[in-house]
Amino acid sequence: MSLHPYAGKLAPKEMLINVPEYISAYYMKEPSVENSTERVSFGTSGHRGSSVKRSFNEAHILAVTQAVCDYRKDAGIDGTLFMGMDTHPLSYPAQLTALQVLAANGVEVCYAKDDGFTPTPVISHAILTHNSEGSALCDGIVITPSHNPPSDGGFKYNPPHGGPADTDVTDIIEARANAYLENGLGDVSKVPLDEIGVMPNIKQYDFVTPYVEDLQNVIDMDVIAESQIRIGADAMGGSGLEYYPAIKKRYGLNMEVFHNTLDSTFSFMHCDKDGKIRMDCSSPYAMAGLVALKEDFDIAFGNDTDFDRHGIVTKSVGLMNPNHYLSVAIAYLSSNRSQWSADLGIGKTLVSSSMIDRVAADMNRQVIEVPVGFKWFVDGLVKGTILFGGEESAGASFLRKDGTTWSTDKDGMIMNLLAAEITAKTKRDPGEHYLDMTEKFGAPIYARIDAPATPEQKAILKKLSPEDVKEQTLAGEPIEAILTNAPGNGAAIGGLKVVAQNGWFALRPSGTEDIYKIYAESFIDEMHLVRIQEEAKAMVSKLF
């Protein structure tokens, strides 16, 4: 995809959305169940859509929240439901709608006091904390479309394990929600908006204090504070608006916080590579503003809107590629958490860099390679069999210092604070550590490109088998493995991965767009990577 003229530049005023238009459309536009794009559809991160496109409207949230209530009842989940939301324009009306349904169904709900915002990892942390203390099972809802443009809304459900719901749960919720839509919402229970505030089962809650206080048990906050390194923290107008100021105050950090006031147009953002406003903290174009300030800080970082992703900016390399930082974080944690067992494995998605495999092998750690989606790390983090679970898209979490579970969802805040710990303790930033790694293990070149695909073509890619690939070599090297199931857990990857000694590629159809994604990596050079990408495209063309 060629760069848009706005890529890396501040969003022009004419691009900013009309917030009242989108909120009005949320209430006024009715989805058609006959149109597949206007039904409830849970992807890897819940249901997402836009009110003006009739894919994220009041009807959707009424239906899906009632479906969650039904699921909770059937599953015997009767503890508190913790609710979070981010700062997208549609999140607040969606929270109000969800609260109407939850109140009518008698669900005990805790949501942020003063109608505040709560990050995804904080909800996971709250679920796990309360489930460890009581007998009634707690769960959660987070209203967020993650880093998507301001026009979008999103809704995701976290069951009692605290992480993203798997398809065994989301398929039930999706089917029931669409049944409610088909029946005109006649069986959905809700209370009037003006009654929410007096319902005894709907309570405001301080999420900030317990999360911030507990950080010292997962990050060496004393080392960071004592070093007084200069930290730049970009809240990027997201759900963690209150969190970095609170962390700075509680631990006495030398931290400057940016963009921690509400602006639901996200007018301060630099445009992504396609010219859209997208709060993607892994994009060098979206993060251009913070990258320009890298010389002012010893370490700087940002988060996407629901704070489950991290973006690390160093003096040495600027914005780190997520794969590079995952490798550094894994190596550092393995060497600096004395209470962790030597038997703990490392969780990675199969489209993450092979640098992780080389680092893990050097430390005699087993790599657990799973399909795309953080849900695949939940079991390992709960049972304490993996020390770290990370995705190539800048999402990761890891264990507490004592080896117990911190969160079972991605936590961008602890990943960012870990970068500060690394810098404070080693006197070198994560970018410098990665450069050392390349001297030892080689310097991989990684890229993801998108290509158009019809729904029919995406269906083909999702159901491939190793026998569909007839080629024997990849970019001049013998093919060593053709995978349609992840080696770490045997789960279907919904695509294909082809591996050679010094390079690999993986194909996955998008769940939300008419494209497929080609992930590729070379440990040789840029030309080798391009050759891998071209051969991947050629293989796909033979399949259609």
Report, as residue numbers or ranges, the catalytic residues.
146
CA–CA separation, 249 and 244 (whole Å): 9
Q: What is the DSSP string of 495-513?
A: EEEEEETTEEEEEEE-SSS
Element (H, E) at 345: strand 345-349
CB 511 within 8 A of CB 44: yes
CA–CA separation, 532 and 444 (whole Å): 13
Look at residue 390 and give its three-state secondary structure: strand
A 10 A CB-CB count for 172 gives 18
CA–CA separation, 105 and 494 (whole Å): 36
Element (H, E) at 170: helix 167-182
Q: What is the DSSP string of 182-242?
A: HTTTTT-----GGGGGG-TTEEEE--HHHHHHHGGGTS-HHHHHHHT--EEEE-TTSTTTT
Q: What is the DSSP letter of 326?
A: H
Q: Calculate the CA 356 to chain-centre distance.
A: 19
CA–CA separation, 240 and 121 (whole Å): 10
Q: Calculate the CA 5 to chain-centre distance.
A: 27
Q: Phi and psi at residue 346, in whole multiples of 5°?
A: -125, 120
A 10 A CB-CB count for 484 gives 18
Q: Phi and psi at residue 522, in whole multiples of 5°?
A: -130, 140
Contacts of 73 (CB under 8 A, 6+ apart): none
Element (H, E) at 251: helix 243-251
Identify which of 97, 203, 72, 71 has the alpha carbon closest to the alpha carbon of residue 153.
97
With vertex at residue 365, the alpha carbon angle to CA 362 and CA 369, rounded to the nearest 5 degrees, is 110
